[in-house]
């Protein structure tokens, strides 16, 4: 079967989409054939009030369009594919909205939040981010939060989080946990990428690793622009497939509205400088822009390019379908239920 047919028929899930802070890019994902996409409705320091406003905005958009569907269980994604709609799944990139109130887990679960990332680079009430010099592991609150997320069938996401903190979370969780958008430190040793034993620990829970198209985490910038090829990105995918198996790898491409071609260079630089000044980024891990996604998948509407790349790489049709979305769908079903 050719790549175009596989892509058209597959369930395609991009589990990380901060680009959708700008909802005008929704149609780019739809044009790219995406069945379910996960906007980041919270960042590391986002407050509960800010998240309520963001979720309210999304609810209004979903209700106003017949081609969208809120995703709360696995069967919602299957229904979206069958009916020609696009599923929207809410994802937190950080636990700031909870503060130290565990009862807010139930509140946000009721509003549709289905995956929560433990930290965003920095230390928070849960534990240490991947950019901290010291990683003390999960706090007492963090352990209780992991348990509460499990109880409420919300996926534990270990991306952007320190090594010890992730390993403790992965040993504690009773449901599949993930690295929603992380590449391999064995291929490129960025502090934002993950070690082999982290990937193995996530797979052992029944979870997966979602590869990311963020150029900073595919190849080194070497003091200049990062311009990875699609083959550079697929090399990370190949590594995880050989390490943990075809059933434990998916997509968390992490398209971001402040990178080209979605923003001009002046805007990109302003956002980078702000993130560095606030301590969310360090220049060692997030080098000075500009950087560019692999040209074959520069924007979400070009995602057929990824399927073409997987076919060229020799992946079989069933394995391509798993990578594009079926592995995520399995994790969703195991955590959320039917």
Q: Give the domain CATH number at 200.
A: 3.20.20.140
| Contacts of residue 104, Cβ cutoff 8 Å, sequence gap at least 6 | 48, 97, 98
Q: How far apart are CA 152 and CA 146, in angstroms?
A: 10
Name the nearest CA neighbour of 108 among 165, 169, 180, 54.
Answer: 54
Name the nearest CA neighbour of 115 among 169, 46, 42, 32.
Answer: 42
The confidence band for 7, taking pLDDT boundaries of 50, 70 and 90, is very high
Name the nearest CA neighbour of 119 among 148, 92, 89.
Answer: 92
Q: What is the pLDDT of residue 263?
A: 84
Q: Are 206 and 176 in contact (CB under 8 A)?
A: yes
pLDDT, average across residues 17-45: 95
The confidence band for 223, taking pLDDT boundaries of 50, 70 and 90, is low
Report percent pLDDT > 70 for the chain. 99
Q: What is the average pLDDT value for the chain, to the nearest integer?
A: 95
Q: What is the largest CA-CA distance in the chain?
A: 51
Q: How far apart are CA 84 and CA 86, in angstroms?
A: 7
33 or 270: which leads in pLDDT: 33
Q: Which two tokens stand for residue 115?
A: 């995956």
pLDDT tens sequence across 65-97? 999 999 999 999 999 999 999 999 999 999 999
Report percent pLDDT > 90 for the chain. 85
Strands annotated E in the chain: 13-14, 36-37, 40-42, 68-70, 86-88, 90-93, 113-117, 155-157, 177-178, 209-211, 249-251
52 or 280: which leads in pLDDT: 52
Domain count, the chain: 1
CA 325 to chain centre: 13
Structural domain span for residue 189: 3-336
pLDDT tens sequence across 281-311? 888 888 888 888 999 999 999 999 999 999 9
pLDDT, average across residues 5-22: 97
181 C-beta neighbours (distance < 10 Å), count:
31
| Contacts of residue 160, Cβ cutoff 8 Å, sequence gap at least 6 | 44, 93, 94, 117, 119, 120, 121, 129, 130, 192
pLDDT tens sequence across 177-201? 999 999 999 999 999 999 999 999 9
CA 152 to chain centre: 20
Q: Counting beta carbons within 10 angstroms of the beta carbon of residue 306, is it exposed (0 to 12), middle (13 to 18) or buried (19 or more)?
A: buried
Residue 222 clears pLDDT 80, i.e. is over it: no
Alpha helices in 36-136 (DSSP H): 48-64, 74-83, 103-110
Coil vs helix vs strand at 14 = strand
pLDDT tens sequence across 112-130? 999 999 999 999 999 999 9
């Amino acid at each position: 079967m050719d790549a175009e047919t596989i892509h058209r028929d597959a369930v395609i899930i991009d589990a990380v989409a901060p680009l959708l802070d700008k909802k005008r890019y929704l149609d780019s994902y739809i044009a790219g054939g995406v069945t379910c996409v996960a906007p980041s409705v919270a960042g590391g320091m986002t407050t509960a009030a800010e998240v309520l406003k963001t979720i309210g905005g999304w609810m209004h958009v979903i209700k106003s369009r017949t081609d969208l569907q809120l995703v709360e269980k696995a069967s919602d994604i299957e229904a979206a594919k069958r009916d020609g709609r696009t599923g929207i799944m809410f994802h937190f990139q950080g636990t700031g909205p909870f503060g130290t109130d565990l009862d807010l887990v139930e509140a946000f679960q009721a509003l549709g939040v289905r995956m929560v990332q433990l930290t965003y680079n920095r230390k928070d009430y849960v534990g240490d981010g991947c950019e901290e010099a010291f990683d003390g592991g999960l706090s007492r609150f963090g352990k209780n939060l992991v348990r509460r997320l499990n109880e409420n069938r919300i996926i534990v996401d270990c991306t952007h989080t320190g090594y010890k903190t992730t390993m403790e979370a992965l040993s504690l969780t009773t449901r599949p946990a993930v690295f929603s958008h992380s590449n391999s430190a064995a291929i490129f040793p960025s502090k934002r990428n993950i070690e082999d034993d982290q990937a193995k620990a996530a797979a052992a829970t029944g979870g997966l690793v979602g590869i990311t198209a963020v150029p900073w985490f595919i190849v080194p910038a070497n003091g200049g622009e990062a311009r990875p090829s699609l083959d550079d990105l697929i090399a990370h995918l190949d590594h995880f497939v050989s390490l943990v198996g075809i059933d434990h790898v998916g997509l968390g491409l992490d398209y971001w509205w402040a990178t080209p071609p979605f923003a001009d260079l002046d805007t990109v630089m302003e956002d980078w400088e702000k993130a560095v000044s606030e301590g969310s980024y360090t220049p060692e891990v997030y080098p000075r822009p500009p950087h560019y996604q692999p040209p074959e998948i520069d924007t979400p509407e070009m995602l057929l390019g990824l399927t073409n790349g997987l076919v060229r790489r020799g992946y079989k049709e069933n394995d391509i379908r798993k990578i594009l979305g079926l592995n995520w769908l399995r994790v969703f079903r195991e955590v959320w239920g039917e």
